[in-house]
Structure formats: structure tokens, C-alpha cells
Amino acid sequence: MKITPEMVKHVAELARLELAGKDRRKMDKQMTNILEYVSLLDELDTTGVPPTSHVIEVENVFREDEVKPSLPVGKGLANAPESVGTAFKVPKIIDG
């Protein structure tokens, strides 16, 4: 599958990445190469084969809804680039 510059732009937007001109062109080519390689899978007939999302049998794991000690607020905020009181601080959300 050929990856066009428009597709790279769209995917980068979804992934919240900003690719500069040269990097974006390199990305078109590398993604095209890798996707060409993975198209090998089209040879295999997978009709009626169920998908594997997990290799071991996992069932829902339930527990009692009890309050247990968790990370104290101070520790949770210690790595934050910016915080205020007991909250993480971010730049303004509505652009423009």
C-alpha cells in the first residue's frame, strides 16, 4: 500500500505528532516500505480464523470494591511539569 503525504499528515494528527518537512518525506517512504512488507499477510487465508487478542485464557478479574492505600497526591504530582494545589496544570485548552 502506497502511503501518500496526505495520509502521513492525517495519521500524525491522530497521533499528536508534528513531523517537519524532511522527516515527513522520510516517513512516507519508510511506512510504505514496511506496509509493503506486511502485505505478505494477504497471502494467508484467514477466513473463519478467530482473532487472538490475548494468548492466555483471561477472564474478567473481579475484586471487592474496597478502599486501599494508593499513591499520595504529593507523590503523584511530583513528576508533573506544572501543578497547582492538588491538580495538574496544562496550557489553555481552547486554542485561538
Partner 1 sequence: MKLYQETIHSLHDKLKAGDITSRQITESVLERIDAVDEKVRAFITRMDELALQMADAADERFRKGESLGSLDGIPVALKDIFLTEGILTTCGSRILENFVAPYDGTAVSQLKMEGAVFVGKTNMDEFAMGSSTENSGFFPTHNPWDLERVPGGSSGGSAATVAAGEAIFALGTDTGGSIRQPASHCGVVGIKPTYGRVSRYGVIAFASSLDQVGPITRDVMDGAILLKAISGHDPADSTSANVPVPDYPSLLTGDVEGMKAGLPAEYFEEGLDPQVEEIVRKAVADLEKRGMEIVPVSLPSTKYAVATYYIIAPAEASSNLARYDGVRFGVRYPDAKGLTEMYKKTRSRGFGPEVQRRIMLGTFALSAGYYDAYYGKAQRVRTIIRREFDEAFTKADVILSPTAPTPAFPLGEKVDDPLQMYLTDICTIPVNIAGVAAMSVPCGLTSSGLPVGLHVISSPFTEDLMLNVAYAYEQERGEFPRCPL
Instruction: Work out which of 2, 6, 15, 67 binds partner 1, going by CB under 8 A.
Output: 15
Instruction: Work out which of 6, 22, 49, 85 binds partner 1, going by CB under 8 A.
Output: 49
Residue 82 touching partner 1 (CB under 8 A): yes
C-alpha count within 13 angstroms, C-beta hemisphere, residue 2:
3
Residue 88 touching partner 1 (CB under 8 A): yes
User: What type of residue is 32?
Assistant: T
Which CB atom, from 56 or from 67, has the smaller least distance to partner 1?
Answer: 56
**CA 23 to CA 43: how far, in whole Å?**
32
DSSP 84: E
DSSP H or E run through 10: helix 5-14
Residue 22 touching partner 1 (CB under 8 A): no
**CA 14 to CA 2: how far, in whole Å?**
19
Residues of this chain that bind partner 1 (CB under 8 A): 3, 7-8, 11-12, 14-19, 23, 27, 30-31, 33-35, 37-44, 46, 49-56, 58, 61, 63, 71, 75-76, 78-82, 88, 90-96
